[in-house]
């Protein structure tokens, strides 16, 4: 399966905008309390990862996404910039 350049760029923009937005949101949360509120989204788990223990090998599966207002704002800005180009 061949990946298109646009799809890879979209995934990178989403990941980087969420990371940078979360960082900025944490910095601003000291001054504006609304930026300190987080939303936890658990995918494939209920907060704890699924663990498969084979006695010689242990797998842990799970994904938790922590969103705050900064990461949501940066995500929207990143998507606007991506779709404008």
In the three-class reduction of DSSP (H, G, I as helix; E, B as strand; rest coil), residue 53 is classed as strand
**Residue 76 placed within a domain:** yes
**Residue 2 placed within a domain:** no
**Residue 78 placed within a domain:** yes
**Residue 3 placed within a domain:** no
The rounded distance, in Å, linking the Cα atoms of 72 and 52 is: 33
**Residue 20 placed within a domain:** yes
**Residue 70 placed within a domain:** yes
**Residue 22 placed within a domain:** yes
The rounded distance, in Å, linking the Cα atoms of 37 and 72 is: 12
In the three-class reduction of DSSP (H, G, I as helix; E, B as strand; rest coil), residue 77 is classed as helix
**Residue 62 placed within a domain:** yes
Domain count of the chain?
A: 1
Q: Which domain holds residue 67?
A: 8-84
Per-residue pLDDT of 34-72, as tens digits, reads 888 888 887 776 767 788 888 888 888 888 888 999 999
- Candidates 10, 8, 9, 31; CA nearest to 70 is 31
How confident is residue 3, by pLDDT bands cut at 50, 70 and 90?
Answer: low
Residue 36, number of CB atoms within 10 A of its CB: 15
């Amino acid at each position: 399966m061949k990946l298109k350049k646009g799809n890879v760029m979209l995934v990178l923009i989403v990941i980087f905008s969420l990371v940078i937005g979360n960082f900025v949101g944490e910095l601003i949360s000291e001054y504006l309390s609304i930026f300190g509120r987080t939303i936890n989204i658990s995918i494939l788990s209920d907060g704890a990862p699924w663990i498969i223990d084979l006695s010689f090998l242990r797998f842990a599966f799970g994904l938790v996404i922590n969103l705050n207002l900064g990461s949501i704002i940066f995500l929207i800005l990143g998507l606007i910039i991506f779709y404008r180009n």
